[in-house]
Amino acid sequence: MKQQLSIVKIGGNVIENNTKLTKFLLHFSKIEGYKILVHGGGKLATKLASKLGIESQMINGRRVTDAKNLEIITMVYGGLTNKNIVASLQANGTNALGLSGADGNTIQAHKRAIKEIDFGFVGDIDGINADFLNMLIFSGITPVLCALSHDGKGNILNTNADTIASEIAIGMSNLYETTLYYCFEKKGVLLDLADENSVVTDINTTKYQELLEQNIIADGMLPKLENCFHALTNKVSKVCLGDIEMIQPNPKLFTSITL
């Protein structure tokens, strides 16, 4: 029987809120068994870019990354955000190691081809180094991955953190029974954004199409749900969306995604 592995992706709105982030990292440290943390930091990167007079552009919930934005993203994701999270986890008794996709050849990708939109230095994932991650986990180390991949030619690429979390969960599913958690500022997928408790507790493929037709799922939630279903169709055992309370034992309200 495979051992359990929890892959948790934390959203930018939680990262930006020191109180929520502190509470989340405490909850994460208490998750029993093997675990991996994936984080973005796009909102902080956007703020820094704005201070430096550099424009940030989003299309369909995904960031367009030119050369200047790539420098900022690398600094924020791989530096400030990643190392602050690792330091906090160490303080909570979790021996963590911060990684970009280039470290240990963890996330291999290629630059997205230009079709209707040129997303710039954005990477589409080719593979995950599951053996390297397994070596760390087996050694008692919790990997903390930021939203950066690499192309094997010396180039860092900005890669959607939700996609990274999904692909890591898929890549590790041959070795573990994997559960993927998307942890953000909401309690789950909401029917009404003005009502924090209007959580859709269960979404399958049929319900997903209904919510799309009703425009309840839109913007940044679109790629997130796409990653959820992609993970489930590729041997990931379970996918959940919710706030920082979701990763506590016996959570009360969150969204469970099924096929």
pLDDT-derived band at 161, boundaries 50, 70, 90: very high
Determine the Cα–Cα distance for residues 32 and 29; give it in Å rounded to an integer: 8
pLDDT band at 178 (very low <50, low <70, confident <90, very high): very high
pLDDT value at residue 132: 98
Is the model more confident about 52 or about 39? 39
More confident residue, 42 or 125: 125
| Measured CA distances, 81 to 39, 40, 174 (Å) | 8, 8, 30
Lowest mean pLDDT among 45-59, 66-80, 103-117: 45-59
State mean pLDDT over 215-224.
Answer: 82
Enter the DSSP assignment of 112.
P
Q: What is the 8-class DSSP label of residue 247?
A: G
Using the predicted structure, report yes or no on whether residue 51 has a pLDDT greater than 80. yes
pTM of the model: 0.93
The share of the chain scoring above pLDDT 90, in percent, equals: 74
Q: Is the pLDDT of residue 69 over 70?
A: yes
pLDDT for 139 equals 97
User: Hey, which CATH number is domain 3-186, 3.40.50.261, 3.40.1160.10, 1.10.760.10, 3.40.50.460?
Assistant: 3.40.1160.10
CA atoms within 13 A on the CB side of 244: 20
pLDDT at 50: 83
DSSP 158: E
CA atoms within 13 A on the CB side of 253: 12
